[in-house]
Structure 1
Amino acid sequence: MNIYRRRHHLSLKPLSAVLLGLAALTATLPAYAAEFGMATVEAKAKLLVDRTYNPKPLPIPAFLKDLTPDQYAEIQDVSPLWRGDHLPYEAQFYLPGSWFHRPVVIRSVVDGAVRPVPFTLEHFSFGKLNVPKNIPSALGYAGFRLLAPLDNPPHHNEFISFLGATYFRAVGKGAIYGTSARGLGIDTAQPSGEIFPYFKEFWLVRPKPDATSMVVYALMDSSVATGAYRFTIQQGDSTTVHVEATIYLRKPVQVLELAPLTSMYWHGHGRGAIAGDWHPAQHDSSDLVMANGNGEWTTRPINNPLYAQTTTYAMDHPVGFGLIQQDRRFSAYQGIETQYQRRPSVWVQPDGDWGKGQLRLVELPTNNRDMDNIVAFWVPEHEPAPKTPLHFAYTLRFFLDNHGLIPLPHPVGTYLGDDPKVPGARKVVIDFGGGALSKLQETAPVQVHLEAADGAKILSQKLEWEKDGHFWRVIAVIQPQPGSPSNVRCFLTLNHQVMSNTWTYLLHAAKEQM
């Protein structure tokens, strides 16, 4: 599985937009309706699914293709679309290059009519790069980013970027890029290999002077699926992206993944291989949080495992799920450059009833911060038949302040270590905080409910009250069976009443985590 999408090298930097050279590829598609909208893009996606998939990417000069991520970030769009028009939004574009080899078509929509966005190489600055003289004048674009007055009004700054496959990432006020979203995932972590659909065309709706949100349409294509997307984007303290999608399968797939999130977890809190790194933690997300339709909220700490692993959670009528960054203290990461305390949490809230299905978490091993190794996504119980439209919608929220997301007291910290007294045993420390738990006295008869499946033994457990931090700490020693990781669950009660959300983790024996 290739998930090499790095944001550290590209954080809050520009790059890319239109490709006139690809016009011939879309010339046979139906003419635009008088009033452009979602129905127009759906018609194009439906027509694509009946055609033979033949991407025919245009060649990219070696100078651009061979750029490192740092070199690629030198390329800046210095003439944003709509700059000087006194509008609330601007758009900057990325050139093809480095890891982003696929040019895309980008157009604008003005009062319901489609307009070209002409490509001009002179709109790009190449910084310190030594630029050859033979760069084609009609390269086209690889993606785009949107800017608005966010952190330093009235000046515009970047708050969302669409670049590569169906990836996009966003930030709210005071945040920097971290976890990414994707329009669709297919066959992640399957032996046959992952398939990456891509957005081949974009339409940017020119905003009105008083607009408070930005609308973007996208046409998706791949060897196995096509799709139409409408993104309604609103920036602020948190940035929200409302996604409406219609997809068509060309043929059945092994795993159809809706609302996929992609992140990075290297190490921290006794999880993951440190491999000599001196920072106390390096990760964009610390936990997967999920809310089931039956009212149960569950926290699953993320790990950097020794081997690739996929964990599946059956859910019915999901309320939401997301990748959360719990600790917002600089001292937890000590990264002056990386600023992990400013990486956004991302929450997926389904629109309507998504019914039964599975939430899957894929964790891949990594030994550095430059590879996205975490993926979470929804798998519907029933896959649509080929060429049958699947309509779905959801809202993404990118935010820093986790308070108020989870209704009950919940796990706020997880720490793992080894117990040297018992071979293979792990020490598990879980902090529960927030809500009514923080207001209880130390003498309150709070009870721990701890379960370890798959033959694991709970050797000891105790509960402590931390009066200064106002949280309750569970400390347990658990011995999993060698070669058989244990699904461990824990929650707290008071007088037979549930007082916390559920903590769960896939716990390996000590030597299997080395």
Structure 2
Amino acid sequence: MNHFSCFLVSRQVLMGLALIVSGTAFAQASDFGFAQVEARARSLAHEAYDATPPKLPAFLKDLDPAQYAQIQDIHPYWSDSDSPFQVQFYVPGSYFPRPEKISVVADGSISPIPFQLQDFSFGNLHPQDLPSDLGYAGFRLLYPLNTPPNYNEFISFLGATYFRAVGKDAIYGTSARGIGIDTAQPSGEIFPYFRHIWLEKPAPGATQMTVYALMDSTVVTGAYRFVIHPGTDCVVDVEATIYLRKPVQVLELAPLTSMFWHGHGRGVRAGDWHPAQHDSSELVMANGNGEWISRPLDNPLQIQTTSYDMQQPQGFGLLQQPRDFAAYQGIDTQYQRRPSVWVSPVGDWGKGQVRLVELPTNNPDMDNIDVFWVPATQPQPGTAYHYAYQLRFFNSQHGLIPLAHPTATYLGYDVKEPEWQHVVIDFSGGALTRLPGSMPVQAHFSAADGAQVRAQKLEYSSNGHFWRLLADVKTAGQTPSNLRAYLTLDGQVMTDTWTFLLQPAKGGH
């Protein structure tokens, strides 16, 4: 068959033909599950890593992101069946050169999904010398989410172990990853990848779908199960077992990746006229001792890593606020519709750290924010390390944060004394919503690492019903200062603990 023949044969038919021609006895679906993927990952960890680079035609390898985006799967898998979900695939190319094997678990068997070049539209591109067995680089799922009965894309797995999702009426923003290794370390980051995906065909009327993945890399292998629930929020239940091939510097569990360029008085604008551009505005953490911590994101002038020691964490995530168009003024970007993402550990994760890595950027297309959990004790090479958590991609908090919350952070400097920096924090929500401005709310603000504080005061605004904490801070020379702030009433904590790493003033910038 010619590569570009208009004669279409469904992937399902080709799967049946492959079974007949090959005569291969495929594993029964009833025998397949997470334990079987674990066994493959365990076996893979004891094998030599295959470092052969993927072979990719020059036409696909040289595509820029805009060109690559023109390549679309126009014949969704399961679109001619009674499945409540549909699947579209990505071809290898551009930043995603590595093909992965994708199989379906259905009708009592496990079968590879054949690649079909004619299922893809190439827009105004002109494909050259593309093989018929090119393979897939990833996939995305569709469900009648926003405009039933029409199907809408709501989750995408593409590149290394990256995936991102949205709830109803949201658009893509922050991404999750299966695992991270050695982010921002001098030796360089390692990017494991999913080498085999199994899609479990859902029954008619199902409202969730299960995906299994086998991970591989030079340093770690792993088995994953994703149970995906589309809806107003997209919820992903993740179960994983990993096997280290050799020790790593930083083992990063449940990692999130996002972008913060500028906004709320933070970050280098570099001439951009928008009031803000970011996929996430802050890191929020719920410690096992009941403390809630909020850390506004920044676009620093150099790589910045901040760690928060915790025991039995209740959750952490990257939140996006505010939620109104006026805060961003992006007609195309629609940052107010980008999802927040929350990680809820399942079981006791013990001691460890939530670690935040902020990279300098002047490019809104670059993810420069990484957040992940680092366990206090790493597994030994060859031993199984099992963990589970739930991811929620959402636009409305639905009462996630029980206390009043820092809703804005602004930084400035004193024109006459530029070594003194203005720090402004707005608190609202929670129990503060019911308090009149006359109540004796008290502010607690501290600056560590030898920094000085002056002109501290707390103001109440009836327009918007929030409390504003203002302070001037001068760091000790070129030493950054860890700042903390929260509000109390009659000795009772009313707000999250706001934290920030204040860099020394740069002569008024």
Residue 45, structure 1, aligned to residue 41, structure 2: yes
The CA deviation string for residues 394-440 of structure 1, in whole angstroms up to 9 with x for no partner, is 00000001241101111111111112232321111111111221221
Residue 215, structure 1, aligned to residue 185, structure 2: no
After superposition, where does 1:107-256 map in structure 2 within 5 Å? 107-132=103-128, 134-256=129-251
Question: Partners in 1 of 2:35 and 2:51 — Cα distance?
Answer: 23
Contact 2:418–2:507, Cα closer than 8 Å, also in 1: no
Secondary structure of the residue aligned to 2:306 is strand
Contact 1:35–1:112, Cα closer than 8 Å, also in 2: no
Question: Partners in 2 of 1:425 and 1:161 — Cα distance?
Answer: 46
Q: Name the structure 2 match of 1:93.
A: 89
Contact 2:275–2:327, Cα closer than 8 Å, also in 1: yes
Residue 337, structure 1, aligned to residue 332, structure 2: yes
Contact 1:179–1:344, Cα closer than 8 Å, also in 2: yes
- Counterpart amino acid of 1:120? Q
Question: Partners in 2 of 1:38 and 1:227 — Cα distance?
Answer: 11
Secondary structure of the residue aligned to 2:31 is coil
Deviation of 1:111 (Å): 4.1
Secondary structure of the residue aligned to 2:506 is helix
Question: Partners in 1 of 2:314 and 2:392 — Cα distance?
Answer: 14
After superposition, where does 1:11-26 map in structure 2 within 5 Å? none
Residue 388, structure 1, aligned to residue 351, structure 2: no
Worse-superposed segment, 391-400 or 265-274: 265-274
Question: Partners in 1 of 2:492 and 2:130 — Cα distance?
Answer: 69
Structure 1: runs of 5 or more not aligned: 1-19, 24-29
Question: Partners in 1 of 2:396 and 2:107 — Cα distance?
Answer: 37
- Counterpart amino acid of 2:37? V
Question: Partners in 1 of 2:398 and 2:444 — Cα distance?
Answer: 25
The CA deviation string for residues 365-384 of structure 1, in whole angstroms up to 9 with x for no partner, is 00010110000000001001
Secondary structure of the residue aligned to 1:146 is strand
After superposition, where does 1:95-494 map in structure 2 within 5 Å? 95-132=91-128, 134-494=129-489
Deviation of 1:57 (Å): 3.7
- Counterpart amino acid of 1:91? V
Worse-superposed segment, 429-438 or 353-362: 429-438
Deviation of 1:513 (Å): 8.3
Question: Partners in 1 of 2:387 and 2:304 — Cα distance?
Answer: 28
Contact 1:240–1:395, Cα closer than 8 Å, also in 2: yes
Deviation of 1:468 (Å): 2.1
- Counterpart amino acid of 1:292? N
Deviation of 1:130 (Å): 2.1
Deviation of 1:441 (Å): 1.5
Aligned-CA RMSD value: 1.6
The CA deviation string for residues 96-145 of structure 1, in whole angstroms up to 9 with x for no partner, is 0010010100000014521121111000000111222x211110010000
Deviation of 1:509 (Å): 2.1
Residue 495, structure 1, aligned to residue 490, structure 2: yes
Question: Partners in 1 of 2:484 and 2:508 — Cα distance?
Answer: 19
Secondary structure of the residue aligned to 1:510 is coil
Question: Partners in 1 of 2:66 and 2:195 — Cα distance?
Answer: 25
Deviation of 1:512 (Å): 7.4
Deviation of 1:55 (Å): 3.7
Deviation of 1:78 (Å): 0.7
Q: Name the structure 2 match of 1:68.
A: 64
- Counterpart amino acid of 1:94? Y
Q: Name the structure 2 match of 1:15.
A: none
Deviation of 1:500 (Å): 1.0
Contact 1:425–1:478, Cα closer than 8 Å, also in 2: yes
Contact 1:108–1:206, Cα closer than 8 Å, also in 2: yes
Question: Partners in 1 of 2:240 and 2:508 — Cα distance?
Answer: 40
Contact 1:305–1:513, Cα closer than 8 Å, also in 2: no
Question: Partners in 2 of 1:327 and 1:466 — Cα distance?
Answer: 18
The CA deviation string for residues 39-85 of structure 1, in whole angstroms up to 9 with x for no partner, is 11001000100000014243111111111111101001011110021
Structure 2: runs of 5 or more not aligned: 1-14, 19-24
Q: Do the aligned partners of residues 41 and 343 (structure 1) sit closer, same or farther apart at CA in structure 2, a change above 3 Å counting?
A: same
Residue 82, structure 1, aligned to residue 84, structure 2: no
Question: Partners in 2 of 1:103 and 1:502 — Cα distance?
Answer: 45
> Number of paired residues?
487
- Counterpart amino acid of 1:194? E
Question: Partners in 1 of 2:249 and 2:210 — Cα distance?
Answer: 32
Deviation of 1:31 (Å): 7.8
Question: Partners in 1 of 2:88 and 2:134 — Cα distance?
Answer: 15
- Counterpart amino acid of 1:125? S
Question: Partners in 2 of 1:339 and 1:180 — Cα distance?
Answer: 16
Q: TM-score, normalised by structure 1?
A: 0.93
Question: Partners in 2 of 1:413 and 1:278 — Cα distance?
Answer: 19
Identity %: 64
Q: Name the structure 1 match of 2:11.
A: none
Secondary structure of the residue aligned to 2:365 is coil
- Counterpart amino acid of 2:336? Q
- Counterpart amino acid of 2:393? F
Deviation of 1:465 (Å): 0.9
Contact 1:250–1:386, Cα closer than 8 Å, also in 2: yes
